[in-house]
A and B are shown apart, each in its own frame.
Chain A
Amino acid sequence: MASFLKKHRYALISFVMLLPGLASFFGLFFYPMLVTVVRSFRPEGVTTAWTLRNYTDFLGQASTRQVILLTFFLAIACTLLSIVLSVPLTLLLRQKLAGHRLFRLTILVPITVPGLVGALGLLLFYGSRGWLNLLLMQGLHVVQEPVKINYTLTGLVIFYVWHYFSYTAVTTLSTLEGLDPAFEEAARVAGASPWQVLRHVVIPLIMPGILAGSVLTFMAAFGAFSIPLITGGSYRPLAVQIYKQIEVFTPARWEAASAMAVVMALLQLVFLTFYMRVLRRPTAS
């Protein structure tokens, strides 16, 4: 025993130190996830039998496909728009114009304040008498009737971008600032126009950063719960649908909710794996 300990001292110390992290992973993530999976194969309200009904019921419903499509649409639209917003934003911030610190801090606001507060503010701002509509009606006289944004698909996409663009922006910004200016200088010396430098030098170089950031935005948007819960109206992505199984029904439908949650987790994993492969490909840019 003693010789075993001595022989494997290094490995054992590493392992013991890893233990807390592994324990929290297995106890707080793996085991609960397993309970969810097991529960999803139980008939409603029964604790021993096995069944596939929760899955066939959920996947058989006509509305399920719409819900899944909606979830993907929101997450992808949010990811793309975040990139479109982040790239010019970070290019400007990189120039270190006066006051750039304030704008840098602004990027962090949506991920620092609680999501629900942001959602309430957005509902007020985009409401029929929010400042946006007042500006359009009384300031610019563009429209007569208030534009309906809250509880529409457009509105939901705007809210998502507001909440989750920060991940893309911060990652892009840090990649951009880590860039060696020598590359651009070399290109400029070689006679490239600013647009060409941007298109052929800067963007390819920061592409990994943009993509890595967009993965984070995508994950957050796909799993979004509190935002669509209070701002979604009739649009209910998967996470909200799952919660409704427990909130609305008495007794709560844990089994159905679990089956939906498993489907959701699988969808996200499959999509992320796919995305990672694209991202890791050396020719991505």
Chain B
Amino acid sequence: MKVRIPTPLRSYTAGRAEVEASGATVGEVLEHLDRQYPGIRFRMVDEQGRVRPHMKVFVDDEAVRDLEASVSDAHEVTIMQALSGG
């Protein structure tokens, strides 16, 4: 499925804004992303498996915080990051 990557994480994807990844859950998709782009998952998900504050994962138009949420190839995953702060 298509995964949209926000600008703060594109140093991992060689600048690509969209990449392909697979998995039956959001967590599996992020793990597949990490196998392709080592290190990217830990910037989004902490060592206890929690999506970091101010990071958001959307499956199509729906925000998801549970990494067990199901996805399929028909979905599009969008990773977003707040750009708050000075």
Q: Is this pair of chains taken from one and the same complex? A: no
**Chain A residues at the B interface, C-beta cutoff of 8 Å:** none
